[in-house]
Every structure is written in structure tokens, then in C-alpha cells.
Amino acid sequence: MKGIIAKKYVNALMTSCNDSEIDLIEKSINDISNAFSSTKFNNIILSPDLTNEKKEEFVLSLLEKKEGKILNFIKLLVSNERLSLIPSIAKELKYQISLKNNSYEGEVISNFEISKEQITKLEENFSKKFSANIKLKVQVSDYPGVKIQLDDLGVEVSFSLDRLKSQMVEHILKAI
């Protein structure tokens, strides 16, 4: 439900703002969205003891620029008691900007370090495949193989060493 409501707010922003305004709003919304990782911030925003005016003042204190459409947008969210939607709005706004610019971010997850040349080659190949600008970030984890995730495009490519071993064993057993 939150995603649907957030999408409506983002669609309204995208149609009513130019590119520079969208960039400013995205930065501001991301700053506020990052604050939601704090328990104290959530307690303040969700507190029934504080008035909407105090919540608005508190949220606006996090912003560098408190003018124009971002000010009106925050006031609108406060008046409709939708401040808790800001993380969903930030995510949807990032997605809509990616669609507009035809530029997407993804992750390469593996249990070993991947060189910059390999990442560049992967970015070029995926960019060519999807006719879009693809940027990949490397994340080293305990995943036994390599996994490439492009969430905004709904793509996940993986090569698992465990799966390869099990398929080889299965193939050998069938051959016998």
C-alpha cells in the first residue's frame, strides 16, 4: 500500500518539476530518508504527542535548502500525515529518475575481489544488452560464486560454484 501511495506522490513531483528541481528534491528526500534509520528519529516522527507543526519543523531542520517545492512537498506530507512514506518515496523517486535518464545501478556480489577492468567490461556488456547506462558496485560477501543484480530492471544473473558442482556430479552419474 505504501508503494502505491509513494508512486502517486512521485508521479506528481515528476510532472510538476524540472530536472534541477527534481535533483534538489531527490537529494533532500534522500537526506531525510537516511534519518529514518535512527530509532530516535522514527520515535519523533511517529509520536502522537507532537503536533504536526513540530514534526514539520523537525524534518525541515534536516534540510540545507528550505525553499520552493521541497518545502511545499514536506508541508503536504505533514498535513496528510504521510511523513512515514519518505523512505518509499525516496526509493520510487530514484527509480523514476533512473527510468527517465535510462541509467541504472546494480551490484556484483562475490566472495572474491573483482578488478576494475572486469567491472568496466561487465558494465559495457550489460549496457549494450539493455540499451541503457549501467553502473555496477562491487560487494564482497560469502556468496559462493558471482551474482549480478539489477533490481530496477528486474535482472539477476548468478554463477554458483555449488550449483556447478552438483550439476557436474549429476551429469557424471547419468553418464555411468
What Cα–Cα distance (Å) separates residue 58 from each residue in 9, 31, 35, 42, 62?
21, 13, 11, 12, 7
Residue 87 confidence class, pLDDT cut points 50, 70, 90 = very high
Domain limits for position 47? 2-98
Q: What is the CATH number of the domain that holds 123?
A: 3.30.2320
pLDDT at 90 over 90: yes
Domain boundary among 74, 98, 122: 98
Residue 114 confidence class, pLDDT cut points 50, 70, 90 = confident
Does one domain contain both 73 and 9?
A: yes
Stretch 21-48: mean pLDDT? 89
Please give the Cα distance from 23 to 90 (Å, whole number): 12
**CB-based contact 117:124 (threshold 8 Å):** no
pLDDT at 160 over 80: no
**Can you read off the three cell numbers belonging to residue 137?**
558496485
Does one domain contain both 141 and 162?
A: yes
Which of these, 62, 58, 40, lies nearest to 50 by C-alpha position?
58
Question: What's the structural domain count of the chain?
Answer: 2
Instruction: Identify the pLDDT of residue 92.
Output: 92
